[in-house]
Amino acid sequence: MIIIPARLSSSRLPNKVLLSIKNKPVIIWCAQSAKEVDDVVIATDSKEVIDVCKKYGFEAVLTDKNHKSGSDRIKEASDILKLPENEIVINMQGDEPFLEPVILQKVKQKLIDLNRNFKMVSCYKIIDELSAQDPNLVKVVVDKNSDALYFSRSKIPYNRDNQAHRYKGHLGIYGFDKKSLDKFTTMKGRLEHIEKLEQLRVLENGEKIAMIEVESKSFGIDTKEDLIKAKEMAESSSKYRGFKRNWA
C-alpha cells in the first residue's frame, strides 16, 4: 500500500497539496501516479483534503493535526487501516506530482526481496556539483552494499582534493513493512534534530536503510517558484514524457 501524507498547513507554501496544476490538485497528481503501482490512501489532517480526494475517487483518512513528521502520520493511518505487520507500506510525499511510478515499483520490489528483520528502503539520484551545494537537497553516501552510511544537508563527502565524484541526492520516499514502520516511529536519536532529517534515527540506532539508484525529474513543490515550474512542466508534456497519460 502507498500512503501519502498530506498536511494542509505549510510554512513556505500554505495549502500546497490543494494548489492546482492544470486544474487538478497537487495531491491528486501524486495519488494518480501511485495508483499505477499499488493501492493508495491519503493520510491528512484536513477534512477539506478528504473531500477533494473523495471527489477524485481516492480513499483518505483523518489523522492527528499534531504529528511532527509524515512518517508519524502514515503510522497512524496504517493503524486506522489495521494493516498486518508484513504489509508493505510506502511513504510517498504529497508535494511531488511528477514522481515516476517506476520508482515506486522499484521500492516495492526491493522491499519484497529484502531479507532483514528491519525493512526500510529509500532511493537517490545522481546530482551535479552545484545541486550538491543546496542544503534543501539532501545528500546521501552509501556503502558497498548500497546501504546508507549517512544523510546530510551538507555536501557529502567533503571533496578535499576536488576528485571526480558522483554526488547522490536523496529522494524523500520511504518503504517499510508495517512492523518496521512501527519500530521506526518509536526510535529516538540526536542527529535528526541537528540536521532535521528523521531518517538519521535509523542509522543512529544501528539499523540499515537499503538505497536504490534511480533516474528522476521529480521535485517537491515547496515555494511559489516550484509551483510555477510545475505548471510550466505540465503545459509542456514533451519536457516530461513520463506523465503524458495524466496531462488531460
Q: Is residue 160 in some structural domain?
A: yes
Confidence (pLDDT) at 230: 79
Cβ atoms of residues 54 and 47 within 8 Å = no
Confidence (pLDDT) at 224: 83
Name the percent of the chain lying above pLDDT 90: 69
Give the total number of structural domains in the chain: 1
Q: Is residue 58 in some structural domain?
A: yes
| Interval 142-152: pLDDT, tens | 999 999 999 99
Q: Is residue 122 in some structural domain?
A: yes
Q: Residue 176 in 3-state DSSP?
A: strand
Which of residues 154 and 225 earns the better pLDDT score?
A: 154
Q: Is the pLDDT of residue 24 over 50?
A: yes
Confidence (pLDDT) at 238: 41
Q: Is the dihedral of CA 133, 223, 174, 28 positive or negative?
A: negative
Confidence (pLDDT) at 222: 79
Cβ atoms of residues 209 and 181 within 8 Å = no
Confidence (pLDDT) at 90: 97
For residue 182, the one-letter residue type is D
Q: Is residue 242 in some structural domain?
A: no
CA distance 50 to 58: 9
Q: Is residue 244 in some structural domain?
A: no
Q: Is residue 245 in some structural domain?
A: no
Q: Is residue 46 in some structural domain?
A: yes
Least confident interval from 14-23, 118-127, 186-195? 14-23
Q: Which of 248, 235, 238, 221 is nearest to 99 (CA)?
A: 221
Q: Which residues make Cβ contacts (< 8 Å) with residue 92, sequence separation at least 6? A: 2, 3, 4, 30, 34, 99, 104, 173
| Interval 86-132: pLDDT, tens | 999 999 988 888 899 999 999 999 999 999 999 999 999 999 999 99
| Interval 57-73: pLDDT, tens | 999 999 998 888 889 99
Task: Tell me the helix, strand and coil percentages in the chain, rounded to 5.
Answer: 35, 20, 40
Cβ atoms of residues 135 and 112 within 8 Å = no
CA distance 89 to 21: 27
Confidence (pLDDT) at 11: 63
Confidence (pLDDT) at 243: 47
| Interval 204-247: pLDDT, tens | 999 999 999 999 888 888 778 888 887 888 877 544 445 444 44
Confidence (pLDDT) at 248: 39
CATH number, position 175:
3.90.550.10
Confidence (pLDDT) at 133: 93
Confidence (pLDDT) at 245: 47
Q: Domain of 214?
A: 2-231
Confidence (pLDDT) at 68: 83
For 36-59, what is the mean pLDDT? 94
Confidence (pLDDT) at 86: 95
